[in-house]
Amino acid sequence: MLEPSLTNWQAQFARLVRSRERISQPYASSVAYDDDLQHYFQDCWHLKDWIKNDSSAGVGKAIEGEVQTHKSLRIVADLANGAKHLDRSKHREGAYVTSTNVTVHLGQSKPIDIHYVVTLADGASLTAESLVQEAFQAWTEILKKLGLNP
């Protein structure tokens, strides 16, 4: 069992921040980026459960309604749950990664560029990079609205 300072919602938020920082760094491996991106989506979506289950947050199930008002978090939920359970039958936006583009830069400080395209059930698409930023911004807004200070 983890010590109490590692088991509150702020600890999960800190993991989310670290995940976001990791995927913004240069990568030499698209496999490592894929792993870290999946981790980010899972850390991002699971923050909801940490807040809901942490009595010190004082918001209980109200967090469920808040996250549903943000499309970026509904998309993240699809990607996180799909990666965790290998099941996309229960989805909010029908989001899945439809393409990956990796560009290799020989002899440069940034070895590779990686771009993922996420497509939704309605045919709309966005980049994983923009989704990361939108979802993090959504959490910033939710935490502020609920008076939660990370």
Tens-place pLDDT, residues 16-50: 999 999 999 988 899 999 999 999 999 999 999 99
Residue type, 143: L
Q: How many domains does the chain have?
A: 1
Domain assignment present for 138 = yes
What's the DSSP call for residue 6? G
Domain assignment present for 36 = yes
Domain assignment present for 150 = no
Q: Extract long-range pairs of 103-109: CB within 8 Å, 24+ residues apart.
A: 109/26
Query: Which of 19-23, 62-66, 103-107 has the lowest average pLDDT?
Result: 103-107
3-state helix/strand/coil string of 72-95: HHHHHHHHHHHHHHCCCCCCCCCC
Give the Cα separation of 3 and 100 in Å (integer): 39
Higher per-residue confidence, 67 vs 6: 67
pLDDT band for position 149 (cuts 50, 70, 90): confident
pLDDT of residue 3: 56
Domain assignment present for 81 = yes
pLDDT of residue 37: 95
Domain assignment present for 48 = yes
Residue type, 46: H
Domain coverage including residue 82:
4-145
